A and B are shown apart, each in its own frame.
Chain A
């Protein structure tokens, strides 16, 4: 399945950005109202963005409710709002309980059947068994026809990467392909590490999302190793943090990322001053 080449990143809405606090405050002021965010998303699609990379949040749902059109989403799952991290125990089990309580009846039934199939892993709390259940329940809450891809969130992907939980990655790819029939990938703060490990495990997602920029900012384990991994391993990369936290202009960051073999780019709302104008230029280039 083909991953998109130009995506509007909206991860800064969830605080997932290395932009300065001033930029984040400015972005929040622009997008706080559902109508304002809705207009921004709509204009981004008209300007050539193939999808929006975003965690399904109350803020997003309110914005989508304002629109009369479909906005293709690469849904970052599972979702955990920042304040929930303060209140909930870590791990997937609390998220699964929450997702079950919010999912429509049909999804809960499907989830229960899936649980039966995966009972040993679910009882052990194996993330490889819990993650598909979470994806099932959370995608069921998205408006029909809007799911254009699934990205496993960096919090989950990087934890499994650190422990070497290869099965989680394989199961996630397999489940999303079978159940959702959309591209699937992994968001990561450790792009070079992720690519090499996935390659070593023989896992081939449709994309991996991570920082690529001329300053090497956020490129782990370091910039040279990350670039080598991108160039050698053939796993499509969608580049984020293109402005290196404000060190470079967006156009320079995109040029750099594309020249080093990334498949696509995902400039974030926080890095865009003129969302439709800048996206249109990137779509042409």
Chain B
């Protein structure tokens, strides 16, 4: 019989003095577990506490090797454990109150997206983090995926010139019934844009600037949530993004994202597989994933998770702010707000609120939702 040289698991807690960043994870569904696993492989961080109201979820986390205290709720965790950061990965509808508790405890907060369906809630939370001087970030892993990171870098370097036209889409095979939709939304609202397309919207905002206006129509196949959305987003530069998303497309067990940009000086096409640029005088460049740096030192479910979590921990420890940090956490939610408003009004253009909460007016009474 083969036996480990050390009969105990080597994930025994280290003295807190030697762990630069002590992390609690609230919500032990698939995304919470994935974050916990990524954090467990970081040199300068450790998972030191877990929280989930479901005993089966806490048992699963312990069973896979997390030998740390676990609690049924975040309040008890924060009362008994000193942590430097909290990853909020619970279902939508519970993220804002949990994030607020973590902010009140002075912990840096990382929240899965969408933070909330209502923009005003997200804006209030971001403003509170800002007022308290606590680090706050929304997860948008797509920007860390090497092909999309390269595409963004090419645009930032001016290789295309001013971008006039963009087409972008994300497709996934997630919802083919009302029950499946309910599983995704936990009955808390939001459709395909909120639950599948926010990463793409965030990436587009970083590449091209926050849109100023959006108009959208939706198709509901399986219930009251939008299953397919077609939108136009107007840019401050005068350019336009045509944007499509669906979570009811067969053949996409892994969501497929495509962006095509037409600039004054060039054309760019990027998907999960490759990025291609056509520049002036016939210049052409193409990179597939294997051509690009893959700096993550551990693969949980691709490069992005580890890179994003590592960047957040670095920020907590004094490094640069990563994408999605601070007020940038509002950007994708601001676009979501405009698209939701447009869908409700039958496709009329709706302004994208600026990333300050004062810009949000309360909904007039009687507006159909």
Residues of chain A whose beta carbon lies under 8 Å from any beta carbon of chain B: 15, 18, 20-22, 25, 82-83, 85-87, 89-93, 124-127, 130, 158-160, 162-170, 173-174, 189-190, 193, 200-204, 213, 215-218, 220-222, 244-247
Residues of B close to A201: CB separation below 8 A: 4-6, 10
State A101–B56 Cα separation when bound (angstroms). Answer: 19
Q: How many chain-B residues does the 8 Å CB contact rule pick out?
A: 50
**CB closest residue in chain B, given A131:** B63
Are A221 and B289 interface neighbours, CB within 8 A?
A: no
Are A220 and B10 interface neighbours, CB within 8 A?
A: no
Give the Cβ gap from A176 to chain B, nearest Cβ, in Å. Answer: 11
Residues of A close to B4: CB separation below 8 A: 166-167, 169-170, 201-203
State A82–B251 Cα separation when bound (angstroms). Answer: 11
Interface status of B69 (Cβ within 8 A of chain A): no
Interface status of B267 (Cβ within 8 A of chain A): no
**CB closest residue in chain B, given A20:** B273
State A163–B28 Cα separation when bound (angstroms). Answer: 15
Known contacts A163-B9, A165-B9, A166-B4; A15/B254 CB under 8 A: yes
- Name the contact of B65 in the complex, choosing from A165, A193, A215, A217 (C-beta under 8 A): A165
Are A87 and B41 interface neighbours, CB within 8 A?
A: no
State A204–B3 Cα separation when bound (angstroms). Answer: 9
Residues of B close to A190: CB separation below 8 A: 298-299
State A284–B50 Cα separation when bound (angstroms). Answer: 53
Known contacts A90-B60, A162-B40; A245/B299 CB under 8 A: no
Known contacts A20-B288, A163-B66; A203/B2 CB under 8 A: yes
| Residues of B41-79 contacting chain A, CB below 8 A | 41, 56-57, 59-60, 62-66
Are A89 and B57 interface neighbours, CB within 8 A?
A: yes
- 6 closest A-B pairs by beta carbon, nearest first, are A163-B65, A165-B65, A91-B60, A125-B63, A166-B4, A125-B59
- Name the contact of B63 in the complex, choosing from A83, A126, A200 (C-beta under 8 A): A126
Residues of chain B whose beta carbon lies under 8 Å from any beta carbon of chain A: 1-11, 28-30, 33, 37-38, 40-41, 56-57, 59-60, 62-66, 173-174, 180, 183, 251, 253-254, 256, 271-274, 288-291, 294, 296-300
Give the Cβ gap from B93 to chain A, nearest Cβ, in Å. Answer: 18
**CB closest residue in chain A, given B58:** A125
Are B183 and A93 interface neighbours, CB within 8 A?
A: no
Are A93 and B37 interface neighbours, CB within 8 A?
A: no
Q: Which of B6, B56, B65, B254 has the most CB of A within 10 A?
A: B65
Give the Cβ gap from B41 to chain A, nearest Cβ, in Å. Answer: 5
Residues of A close to B180: CB separation below 8 A: 86-87
Give the Cβ gap from B287 to chain A, nearest Cβ, in Å. Answer: 10
**CB closest residue in chain B, given A25:** B251
Count of CB-CB pairs between chains A and B under 8 Å = 150
10 pairs, CB–CB < 8 Å, chain A vs chain B: A93-B60, A130-B63, A162-B300, A163-B66, A164-B10, A164-B65, A166-B4, A190-B298, A201-B5, A220-B296
Residues of B close to A174: CB separation below 8 A: 1-2
- Mostly, the B contact residues are loop
- Name the contact of B290 in the complex, choosing from A159, A215, A222 (C-beta under 8 A): A215
**CB closest residue in chain B, given A169:** B4
Residues of A close to B66: CB separation below 8 A: 163
Residues of A close to B64: CB separation below 8 A: 91, 127, 159-160, 163, 165
- Name the contact of B29 in the complex, choosing from A15, A87, A90, A217 (C-beta under 8 A): A90
**CB closest residue in chain A, given B173:** A83
Residues of B close to A163: CB separation below 8 A: 9, 11, 37, 40, 64-66
Are A247 and B290 interface neighbours, CB within 8 A?
A: yes
State A91–B271 Cα separation when bound (angstroms). Answer: 31
Are A202 and B3 interface neighbours, CB within 8 A?
A: yes
Residues of B close to A167: CB separation below 8 A: 4, 7, 9
Residues of A close to B60: CB separation below 8 A: 89-93, 125
Are B41 and A244 interface neighbours, CB within 8 A?
A: no
State A190–B251 Cα separation when bound (angstroms). Answer: 27
Residues of A close to B29: CB separation below 8 A: 89-90
- Name the contact of A158 in the complex, choosing from B10, B174, B291, B300 (C-beta under 8 A): B300
State A126–B294 Cα separation when bound (angstroms). Answer: 33
Residues of B close to A221: CB separation below 8 A: 297-298
Give the Cβ gap from A210 to chain B, nearest Cβ, in Å. Answer: 10
Give the Cβ gap from A131 to chain B, nearest Cβ, in Å. Answer: 10
Are B298 and A170 interface neighbours, CB within 8 A?
A: no
Are A202 and B300 interface neighbours, CB within 8 A?
A: no
Are A86 and B9 interface neighbours, CB within 8 A?
A: no
Residues of A close to B56: CB separation below 8 A: 89, 93, 125
Are A165 and B183 interface neighbours, CB within 8 A?
A: no
Q: A20-B274, A85-B30, A158-B37 are in contact. List 9 more A-B contacts (CB 8 A).
A: A93-B56, A93-B63, A162-B41, A163-B64, A164-B65, A170-B4, A203-B2, A218-B294, A221-B297
Residues of A close to B59: CB separation below 8 A: 93, 124-125
**CB closest residue in chain B, given A126:** B63
Known contacts A89-B56, A163-B65, A166-B10; A158/B5 CB under 8 A: no
State A166–B5 Cα separation when bound (angstroms). Answer: 9
Are B62 and A125 interface neighbours, CB within 8 A?
A: yes
Residues of A close to B1: CB separation below 8 A: 170, 174
Are B33 and A247 interface neighbours, CB within 8 A?
A: no
**CB closest residue in chain A, given B183:** A87
Residues of B close to A164: CB separation below 8 A: 9-11, 40, 65
